[in-house]
């Protein structure tokens, strides 16, 4: 898989001055566009669109300093509709405008070309199972919150505190299917998964019971799920679990992610410092 992924990275390099079709990149990697974007962000630590933007501005920076093309020609060459739009993007990355850079020979920033390789450590293994599920529902409460990559998400923490003990008790009483108990559900994420983009966060239960009138309901279609287990310090264990699934498990297994909610069941220690976690990711068999 990583060899095909690196072929797609080469394709990006050869098309920096052209329109880049992510669907074409996904076909080169023999995977879905959804999984290609998701796996890239997991491996690279930044969204695909941001990487392409930085690579274009890196190459454009070299052309600005070379002085062989006009600034407007460079702007158009790398996909900007006007010199002003190019100047704003250029300054945001390099800290100076293109005209100033050309006149003064400024020091510019560079986004290196990326390639990926699998590092085999052998020091740990991931516990997982793949299960088939009929359609089910999440019943509970939801909020639209910003995505936070590291540490406790204060928006989610505040939302949960605001539910109150009685609402939490009622939600938990609705649980009648796996994963049992109250679950945290992330849905409708921005495809970039960039810090600060928004998602629907659900605090609910997997339930076949009739939903109370004051509860929100999320219908989940039938499909395959990869279920991962982990235990360790909270919240680092949960965030590292998501990272390891996409940087270690997917590149090594014949599955790809598919659109759908990601479900996390967490059991916290009494002092809130340790978590036993079970993460459900919607998957499908990858093309060979």
Dmax (CA) of the chain: 70
Kindly report, residue by residue over 220-232, the tens digit of the pLDDT: 999 999 999 988 8
The DSSP letter of residue 246 is: I
pLDDT confidence of residue 232: 86
Low-confidence ranges of the chain (pLDDT < 50): 120-124
User: Taking each helix axis from N to C terminus, what angle separates 33-44 and 48-66, rounded to the nearest 10 degrees?
Assistant: 70
Q: What pLDDT sits at residue 258?
A: 93
The pTM assigned to this predicted structure is: 0.76
Tokens coding 200: 């629907």
Per-residue confidence (pLDDT) for residue 124, from 0 to 100: 47
* Unique residue bearing structure tokens 């928004």: 198
Residue 122: per-residue pLDDT: 41
**CB contact burial 147-169 (16+ within 10 A = b; e otherwise):** beeeeebebbeebbeeeeeebee
Residue 230: name the closest of 198, 176, 189, 274 by CA: 274
* Domains with residue ranges and CATH for the chain: 2-104 (1.10.10.60), 127-285 (3.20.80.10)
Q: Return the residue matching tokens 């390891």.
A: 244
| Count of other CB atoms within 10 angstroms of residue 133 | 16
Query: CB neighbours of 261 closer than 8 A, spacing ≥ 6?
Result: 138, 185, 186, 187, 202, 218, 220, 282
């Amino acid at each position: 898989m990583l060899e095909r992924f690196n072929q797609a990275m080469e394709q990006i390099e050869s098309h920096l001055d052209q329109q880049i079709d992510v669907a074409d990149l996904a076909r080169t990697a023999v995977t879905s566009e959804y999984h290609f974007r998701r796996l890239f962000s997991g491996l690279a630590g930044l969204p695909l669109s941001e990487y392409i933007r930085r690579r274009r501005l890196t190459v454009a920076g070299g052309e600005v300093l070379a002085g062989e093309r006009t600034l407007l020609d460079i702007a158009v060459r790398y996909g900007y509709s006007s010199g002003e739009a190019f100047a704003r993007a250029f300054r945001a990355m390099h800290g100076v405008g293109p005209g100033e850079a050309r006149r003064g020979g400024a020091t510019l920033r560079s986004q290196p070309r990326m390639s990926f390789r699998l590092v085999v450590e052998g020091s740990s293994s991931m516990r997982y199972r793949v299960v088939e599920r009929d359609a089910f529902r999440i019943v509970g409460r939801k909020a639209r919150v910003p995505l936070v990559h590291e540490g406790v998400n204060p928006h989610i923490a505040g939302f949960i505190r605001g539910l109150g003990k009685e609402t939490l008790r009622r939600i938990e009483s609705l649980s009648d299917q796996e994963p049992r108990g109250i679950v945290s559900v992330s849905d409708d994420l921005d495809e970039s998964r960039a810090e600060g983009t928004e998602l629907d966060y659900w605090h609910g239960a997997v339930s076949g019971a009739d939903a109370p009138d004051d509860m929100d309901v999320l219908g989940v279609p039938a499909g395959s799920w990869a279920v991962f287990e982990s235990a360790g310090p909270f919240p680092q264990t949960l965030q590292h679990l998501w990272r390891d699934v996409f940087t270690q498990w997917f590149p090594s297994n014949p599955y790809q992610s598919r659109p759908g909610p990601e479900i996390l069941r967490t059991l916290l220690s009494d002092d809130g410092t340790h978590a036993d976690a079970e993460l459900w990711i919607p998957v499908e068999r990858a093309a060979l």
